[in-house]
């Protein structure tokens, strides 16, 4: 029998990434096309269907070899039913996406939220390959999370497992309100948005910093300034790192992972961010929850979601 292939779809607000993986999670080929979210539900679904068909046609593999197709979708869904309840940036709220896709493809389809598939990707063939229990933090505009135990992503009762960005981590006296309505969420400090906010606040109150000369501060600017020993920038990085480590210490007492993986745009800062995270984790987590536990950067970059989505089918 010809080898089986696994297809992953990373559905974003502006583009749809599709890829073919082998059973080890190696990305064999991939493609990208516009989501066209503004053209409505039918168009988005038709695009996904067409992109996957075209990907296989233009590859050296046959449609018969497709064992299954997984899709990472931003939003809340009923995975057992394959039904999207709500998607913030896509016209897929209240859409039975799995049924629509299975009808077109005639293949088993699995859905999972986007942060969770990225975690599965890193666990399958990235920074947490071969690690029994891994936890991924995705530090971007917000903070996403995903937990993988023995090759399976943990979804939870209502799909809220691994929503680490909304853990209440910042003490009340320092907390600000999060977009979710709560205060003190990890996301308010350890995301790109949080880092930019802290930098703007520092400039606004007149702290001495090279960031004051910039027009619009980015998270990268803050890390560049920290690298140049700007004290204000260093303090901001320290704060983002500290609360991330504090949440890791909490997570260690719940699922006690072997490895924490940090991905997303903010993680490009590398050890400038991760070293203070490691230092703070050593102080905050109980000794026995640290033994053999490491904190590393993600490896798959933007491919993590696509690869992890493909991996959903492997674990059906």
DSSP result, 209-236: -GGGG-SS--HHHHHHHHHTT-HHHHHH
Cα 13-18-24 angle, rounded to 5 deg: 130
Distance of closest approach, residue 44 Cβ to a second copy, in angstroms: 23
Instruction: Confirm if 273 and 265 have CB atoms less than 8 A apart.
Output: no
User: If you count them, how many residues does the chain have?
Assistant: 316
Query: How many residues make contact with a second copy (CB under 8 A)?
Result: 42
Measure the CA–CA gap between 11 and 8, rounded to whole angstroms: 10
308 is an interface residue for a second copy by CB under 8 A: no
Choose the binding region for a second copy from 13-21, 96-104, 121-129, 291-299 (rule: CB under 8 A): 291-299
Q: Would you give the DSSP letter of residue 90?
A: S
149 close to 160: Cβ distance less than 8 angstroms: no
DSSP alpha helix (H) spans, the chain: 41-57, 97-105, 114-125, 187-190, 192-204, 219-227, 231-254, 271-284, 304-314
> Does 188 sit near a second copy (CB under 8 A)?
no
Question: Quick check: 161 binds a second copy (CB under 8 A)?
Answer: yes
The residue range among 37-45, 210-218, 246-254, 273-281 that interacts with a second copy, by the rule CB under 8 A, is 246-254
- Report the site for a second copy in 62-101 (rule: CB under 8 A): 76
**Piece of 221-229, 231-239, 264-272, 283-291 that binds a second copy (CB under 8 A):** 283-291
When binding is defined by CB under 8 A, the residue of 100, 117, 251, 277 that contacts a second copy is 251
The reply on whether position 130 binds a second copy by CB under 8 A is no
- CB–CB of 233/208 below 8 Å? no
Among 93, 180, 200, 231, binds a second copy (CB under 8 A): 180
Residue 210: CB atoms within 10 Å: 14
Q: Is residue 206 involved in binding a second copy (CB under 8 A)? A: no
Q: Using CB under 8 A, which of 253, 270, 271, 275 touches a second copy?
A: 253
**Interacting span for a second copy (CB under 8 A) from 64-72, 96-104, 229-237, 282-290:** 282-290
Cβ neighbours of 158 (radius 10 Å): 9
The tokens describing 228, both together, are: 């140049």
Rounded distance, CA 254 to CA 38, Å? 41
Residue number with CB closer to a second copy (43 or 85):
85
**301 in contact with a second copy (CB under 8 A):** no
Determine, following the binding rule CB under 8 A, whether residue 293 of this chain makes contact with a second copy: yes
| Minimum distance from residue 278 beta carbon to a second copy (Å) | 16
Instruction: Kindly list the residues in this chain that would bind a second copy in the complex (CB under 8 A).
Output: 76, 132-133, 147, 149, 154-164, 166-168, 171-173, 180, 182, 246, 249-258, 284, 286, 288-289, 291-293
């Amino acid at each position: 029998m010809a080898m089986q292939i696994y297809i992953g779809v990373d559905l974003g607000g502006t583009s749809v990434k599709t890829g073919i993986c082998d059973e080890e999670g190696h990305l064999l080929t991939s493609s990208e096309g516009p989501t066209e979210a503004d053209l409505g539900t039918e168009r988005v679904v038709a695009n996904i269907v067409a992109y996957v068909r075209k990907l296989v046609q233009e590859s050296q593999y046959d449609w018969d070899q497709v064992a299954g197709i997984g899709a990472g979708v931003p939003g809340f869904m009923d995975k057992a039913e394959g039904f999207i309840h709500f998607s913030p940036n896509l016209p897929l709220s209240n859409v039975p996406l799995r049924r629509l896709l299975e009808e077109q493809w005639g293949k088993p389809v699995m859905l999972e939220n986007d942060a969770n598939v990225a975690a599965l990707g890193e666990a399958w063939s990235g920074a947490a390959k071969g690690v029994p229990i891994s936890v991924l933090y995705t530090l971007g505009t917000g903070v996403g999370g995903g937990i993988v135990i023995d090759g399976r992503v943990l979804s939870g009762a209502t799909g809220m497992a691994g929503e680490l960005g909304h853990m209440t981590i910042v003490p009340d006296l320092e907390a600000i309100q999060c977009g979710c309505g709560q205060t003190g969420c990890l996301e308010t400090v350890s995301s790109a948005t949080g880092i930019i906010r802290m930098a703007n606040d520092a400039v606004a109150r007149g702290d001495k910093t090279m960031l004051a000369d910039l027009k619009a501060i980015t998270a990268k600017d803050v890390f560049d300034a920290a690298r140049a020993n700007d004290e204000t920038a260093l303090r901001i990085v320290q704060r983002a790192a500290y609360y991330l480590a504090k949440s890791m210490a909490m997570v260690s007492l719940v699922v006690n992972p072997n490895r924490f993986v940090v991905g997303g745009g903010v993680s490009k800062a590398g050890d400038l961010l991760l070293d203070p995270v490691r230092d703070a984790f050593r102080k905050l987590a109980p000794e026995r929850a640290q033994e053999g536990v490491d904190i590393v950067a993600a490896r798959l970059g933007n491919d993590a979601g696509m690869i992890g989505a493909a991996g959903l089918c492997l674990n059906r």
